[in-house]
Structure 1
Amino acid sequence: MFVFNKREVADEKLNHLLEGYSVYAETEELIRLMNRRIQSQELDIIIDDTDQGCWFIPNY
């Protein structure tokens, strides 16, 4: 059984965003961490919040 560190997952997803890729987050905790990182780095990201999760799409 694998245990995921949510902060490491958020960092990996943020790196994908910085490379120009869209990323998806399912859990409220991961979405909160992603929003916090995006705001702290003042990134131009489109956030598509759905019932199932949240897409983060680079806007550049």
Structure 2
Amino acid sequence: MIISPKALARAKAEKLKKGYTAFVETETVAHFLKKEIEKQNLRVVVDQTPHGCWFTPLEREE
């Protein structure tokens, strides 16, 4: 089964919006997820490792 990197990035962005941490293994998905984060104005911490990239949502200040 082939999964679109853009669709995977959108699904990961939805997890971030719900307060969950997201992990991606490829540069391609990380690139699309970063674009999605910008588009949705999400606040996250990005931790890039040699094995992948962790995206951790920051709590919203209200």
Fold in common (TM above 0.5): yes
Whole-Å separation in 1 of the counterparts to 2:43 and 2:2: 31
Q: Which secondary structure does the structure 2 equivalent of 1:49 belong to?
A: strand
Query: What's the Cα RMSD here?
Result: 0.7
Please tell me the residue identity of whatever aligns with 1:26. E
The percentage of counterpart residues that share the same residue type is 31
Matches within 5 A, 1:41-56: 41-56=40-55
Matches within 5 A, 1:1-60: 2-60=1-59
Report how far residue 51 of structure 1 moved. Answer: 0.6
- Number of aligned residues: 59
The unaligned stretches of length 5 or more in structure 2 are none
Please tell me the residue identity of whatever aligns with 1:24. F
Report how far residue 20 of structure 1 moved. Answer: 0.3
